[in-house]
């Protein structure tokens, strides 16, 4: 009997603000822009892309482009997307 699998979407696991913050902190610790963009993309998908786009004043297409595999979001886009998630960036000594 073949093994039955279920589709998995990591965005489904980001069901609390704390989970989203932990993901973003881990991504920022990587210092890899692609990892950070992907994490923001997951956060946006967890909230709903259409709702986030509307709240951030950014098109859905721009979100997918900025947070996709070759994405490189501008700082203003990044801040707008995170603001809709109730997240703000801060700095600490390395």
Please give the mean pLDDT across all residues of the chain. Answer: 92
In a domain, 92, yes or no: no
Contact 75, 43 (CB under 8 A): no
In the chain, the number of structural domains is: 1
pLDDT in tens, 54-82: 999 999 999 999 999 998 899 999 999 99
pLDDT in tens, 44-56: 999 999 999 999 9
In a domain, 52, yes or no: yes
Q: CA 33 to CA 47: how far, in whole Å?
A: 21
Q: CA 20 to CA 86: how far, in whole Å?
A: 10
In a domain, 10, yes or no: no
Q: What is the pTM of this model?
A: 0.86
pLDDT at 84: 94
pLDDT at 92: 82
pLDDT above 90 for 93: no
**Domain containing 60: what range?**
17-84
């Amino acid at each position: 009997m073949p093994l039955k699998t279920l589709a998995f979407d990591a965005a489904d696991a980001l069901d609390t603000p704390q989970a989203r913050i932990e993901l973003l902190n881990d991504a920022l610790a990587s210092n890899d822009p692609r990892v950070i963009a992907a994490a923001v993309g997951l956060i946006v998908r967890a909230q709903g892309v259409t709702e986030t786009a509307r709240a951030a004043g950014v098109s859905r297409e721009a979100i997918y482009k900025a947070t996709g595999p070759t994405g490189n979001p501008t700082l203003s886009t990044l801040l707008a997307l995170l603001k809709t998630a109730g997240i703000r960036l801060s700095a600490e000594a390395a």
